Amino acid sequence: MGNALEAIHIKKVYGDYTALNDVSISVPKGSVYGLLGPNGAGKTSLIRIINQITMPDEGKILLNGEQLKPNHIEDIGYMPEERGLYKSMKVGEQCIYLARLKGLSRAEAKDRLTYWFDRLGIEGWWNKKLEELSKGMAQKVQF
């Protein structure tokens, strides 16, 4: 099956603090992967490097065997525990907004969202406000 994402010998230093020291992971294609660990373990630093928010000081990231490039960001998604959602916004409009940030047109976003809302069994949530949802329900929206 192969690996979709590989982090190879990643090092990230912030001043005198080493957040990542020779970290390597392989995430198989078609999998959902979680990073677990205590505060300060480097989870957020690694996620920021994978999402090209920051660059590693050493090492490399491969996506499908290819060095990570700016256009790969459209193929990468992540869901942090703390949700960055607007609580007073309606679910449907929030999802369209997030899809538009990823470069989709409003029409394409609505088509894809209709599919995912159906698949996740949340068709009736389109006009609900996020503040009306439980944490788990809000995570479904973020997904």
pLDDT of residue 115: 94
Q: Dihedral sign for Cα 13, 18, 20, 22, please.
A: positive
Which helix (H) or strand (E) is 99 found in, with range? helix 91-101
pLDDT of residue 75: 77
Q: Residue 129's domain spans which residues? A: 91-142
> Is 80 inside any structural domain?
no
Residue 80, pLDDT > 80, answer no
CATH code, domain carrying 55: 3.40.50.300
Residue 114 in tokens: 């209709």
pLDDT of residue 9: 98
Q: For residue 82, name the pLDDT band (cuts at 50, 70, 90).
A: low
Which helix (H) or strand (E) is 103 found in, with range? none
Same domain, yes or no: 133 and 95: yes
Total count of domains within the chain? 2
State the average pLDDT over residues 53-65.
94
Same domain, yes or no: 69 and 99: no
> Is 49 inside any structural domain?
yes
Same domain, yes or no: 64 and 20: yes
Last residue of a domain, one of 34, 49, 75: 75
Last residue of a domain, one of 75, 102, 133: 75
Same domain, yes or no: 126 and 71: no
Same domain, yes or no: 67 and 10: yes
Q: Which percentage of the chain shows pLDDT scores above 70?
A: 94
Same domain, yes or no: 16 and 70: yes
Q: For residue 83, name the pLDDT band (cuts at 50, 70, 90).
A: low
To the nearest whole number, what is the mean pLDDT of the chain? 87
Same domain, yes or no: 7 and 60: yes
pTM: 0.64
**CB atoms closer than 10 angstroms to residue 24:** 10
Are 34 and 18 within 8 A, CB to CB? no
Q: How big is the chain by its Cα radius of gyration, in Å?
A: 17
Same domain, yes or no: 110 and 56: no
Residue 1, pLDDT > 60, answer no
